[in-house]
Amino acid sequence: MLTKFSYFISQNIVLPKKEEFNLAFLTLCYSSNDCFNVLISAKAVEDRALEGCYAFSDYAVVYWLDYLECCIVKLDKSNTGLTELLVSEIREFLRKHFLSAEPEDAVSITIRERFNVFETYGFFSQLVRAAEFWKNCI
């Protein structure tokens, strides 16, 4: 049975690999927005809520790791521009949200292997600890 989704994919109107990358980038970038800074005042939070700054937050919080996992599996080594763009957002996201992870935190081999495309980056250990932590929370 042909669905709208399968039709769009078959006609190359929707490119799942590209959209997974875009959503990984979007959720990471959005989650790094200053409106999520824990040090902002209650009044600033209220103002930003009224402006709609938190409208996408539930979705971003729940799915950032899923999209990141989907797109890194398919990251093409030849497309270093996209990889570097994603690396920049991952670095910023981790800097803002996962500084407290301790180096001795246990990380499964599965998580390490899944994110091995980032093994050469300085944030690799922090990323795998964040992924392990997040998987245990959700």
Confirm whether 35 is domain-assigned: yes
Q: pTM for this one?
A: 0.83
Does 108 fall in a domain? yes
Asked if the structure places residue 5 within a domain, the reply is no
Query: Residue 10 domain-assigned?
Result: no
Among 75, 78, 135, which Cα is nearest to 110's?
A: 135
CA distances from 76 to 11, 23, 73 (A): 22, 17, 9
Q: How many CB atoms lie within 10 A of CB 55?
A: 11
Give 46-59 pLDDT, tens digit per residue.
999 999 999 999 99
Span 84-113, pLDDT tens digits: 889 999 999 999 888 765 666 678 899 999
The boundaries of the domain holding residue 33 are: 15-137
- Kindly state the average pLDDT of the residues 13-36: 90
- The set of residues, in sequence order, having a beta carbon less than 8 Å from that of 3 and lying 6+ positions away, is none
- Per-residue pLDDT at 135: 86
Question: Would residue 98 count as lying in a domain?
Answer: yes
Share of the chain above pLDDT 70, in %: 90
Residue 6 pLDDT > 70: yes
> Count of domains in the chain?
1
